[in-house]
Structure 1
């Protein structure tokens, strides 16, 4: 099975993603690392422990990552979307707590990469600070990453934290630029352009809740999360789970190769991902960007429900 590492900031949609990763038959979950983001680092770490405990995955090492961005401090969290506890105000439904952290995220990731006998998939579904630090401090391990799958950015539909920026990239634009523009690790980016299309409704959530304890806990996060996402329809996105599905089942999402740039200015466009559609420049780096056109959106929803349900 393909080795998998998940770097995450749980987060409601992160909870869906971790559940999917823990249960996927195609991969072997080798580590989970927690980074600041939706809530503070202490809470994301505790939430990761809750999820691993609930899923019976005490065998998975947990690493503690960055508590702040590379350069500029963040000016807001996402408690309005994920609740003060990061899990929709119902964190007590998740657990028992899994294992104590095994060490620093960079050390945990480096250990997995060093020991792996085949390329590792690294799914980064929070701010990209940990990934940027890893690639900067251990460039010798970059070639051991077979694929980096990132949930982040918004290419053409506007942002969810500013007019142009998506939360994960906006939280640390300098790290995002390092990873998406400067590095050469094969990368798939799953932006809001797709995750705002792959939304789920009450019927989907009711079916998930009826599937068993894990599905019930995940579905219980809906009320706070739906209000925070505020898409204007009775549907909610589960961004990170869509990215994780692509990580464990490559080719599920249609992609197009694009050259990207990340705005790291301190102005209103900070954190915006810009896609150059003029064609690849000589020597330019492209990232595979997931898009709605060509993606079986209904099939993605069905696959997520089937994989997340306890007995489906």
Structure 2
């Protein structure tokens, strides 16, 4: 039986790979895609999601736009890693969508999909957590319909936007704290400590580009993203953060997790947006956040390649 899946996203190059992975995986039924501000403004994340949906031949999946700013305080700046349009300036290389964005907002779409579901739904938030915080605040009764959240975000020992904070959580710390700390929905967190280790090299990308027109189109979105990682990490490749989280949603247990008590720094000091993981043996609150810290790296990369290379022509 397939797992019903909703992806909440801010495309984003790695988001593109994540959406493609979901589309290529028969274990999941992609019910809907919701968009949020993040790597680029909401209008761009939504336009990118629509074009990616067209590339993947999944015009049947509704795409609904959500929050265009954080719950409380403005996002200080956007990500520069993904280029001006979020897809390395290559959005125009993707097919024009044949279906517009859903007229419903993201929270309404998620609510209606959850209400209609006949089995627990996995939600994979791979952008700022604003839409998810709004959903849980407005419709707490629907928590029972959510099987699990698989969240890409946070850093246990390192950040990627500040020394201690990862971009998704840093973009809306108040929303992130609501979801990760205050709610009781089963949650797996996929932090940058692990996703950086799951990076794929330029050779891996070149091989993927040769598998199909769709694979080539995905790799064609990586130009500025590749340049960023060469500059900041000396990496001849890219970090596919969000695809790692989607892999865990498709194949539960592909990532090794440990339960921790955690909090989120919402102060205005240098650690704003940082995940605070309590690794002591005796803690004041229960260790209820499953944090993914390890995986079979070669096995994960092989899984990603196998699925993405199975996509047909664009």
State the 1:284 CA deviation: 2.5
Does the alignment pair 1:160 with 2:144? no
Counterpart mapping for 1:159-198 below 5 A: 159-198=159-198
Match of 1:306 in 2: 306
Given candidates 239, 244, 247, the residue that maps to 2:246 is 244
Q: Report if aligned partners of 2:215, 2:311 keep a CA contact under 8 Å in 1.
A: no
Alignment partners' CA distance in 2, 1:98 and 1:274: 44
Q: Tell me the SS of whatever aligns to 2:233.
A: coil
Match of 1:138 in 2: 139
Alignment deviations for residues 170-212 of structure 1 (CA, whole Å, 9 cap, x no partner): 0000000010101000000000010000011111001110011
Does the C-alpha gap of structure 1 residues 311 and 266 become closer, same or farther in structure 2, counting only changes over 3 Å?
closer
Alignment partners' CA distance in 1, 2:302 and 2:286: 37
Q: Tell me the SS of whatever aligns to 2:206.
A: helix
State the 1:169 CA deviation: 0.3
Q: Report if aligned partners of 2:191, 2:292 keep a CA contact under 8 Å in 1.
A: yes
Match of 1:105 in 2: 106
State the 1:98 CA deviation: 4.5
Q: Report if aligned partners of 1:254, 1:290 keep a CA contact under 8 Å in 2.
A: yes
Counterpart mapping for 1:91-102 below 5 A: 91-102=91-102
Does the C-alpha gap of structure 1 residues 285 and 63 become closer, same or farther in structure 2, counting only changes over 3 Å?
farther
Given candidates 232, 235, 238, the residue that maps to 1:233 is 235
State the 1:152 CA deviation: 0.2
Match of 2:86 in 1: 86
Alignment partners' CA distance in 2, 1:165 and 1:99: 37
Q: Report if aligned partners of 1:57, 1:98 keep a CA contact under 8 Å in 2.
A: no
Does the C-alpha gap of structure 1 residues 98 and 73 become closer, same or farther in structure 2, counting only changes over 3 Å?
farther
State the 1:119 CA deviation: 0.2
Counterpart mapping for 1:1-312 below 5 A: 1-78=2-79, 80-102=80-102, 103-156=104-157, 158-229=158-229, 230-279=232-281, 281=283, 284-292=286-294, 295-310=295-310
Q: Report if aligned partners of 1:214, 1:310 keep a CA contact under 8 Å in 2.
A: no
Alignment deviations for residues 32-85 of structure 1 (CA, whole Å, 9 cap, x no partner): 00000000000000000001111111110111100000000011101x200111
State the 1:279 CA deviation: 3.1
TM-score, with structure 1 as normaliser = 0.96
Does the C-alpha gap of structure 1 residues 132 and 233 become closer, same or farther in structure 2, counting only changes over 3 Å?
same
- List alignment gaps of at least 5 residues for structure 2: none
Q: Report if aligned partners of 1:258, 1:280 keep a CA contact under 8 Å in 2.
A: no
Count of matched residue positions in the alignment of Structure 1 and Structure 2: 308
Alignment deviations for residues 272-299 of structure 1 (CA, whole Å, 9 cap, x no partner): 001001136465251110112xx10000
Over the aligned positions, Cα root-mean-square deviation in angstroms equals 1.3
Q: Report if aligned partners of 1:280, 1:286 keep a CA contact under 8 Å in 2.
A: no
Alignment partners' CA distance in 1, 2:184 and 2:147: 11
Does the C-alpha gap of structure 1 residues 168 and 98 become closer, same or farther in structure 2, counting only changes over 3 Å?
farther
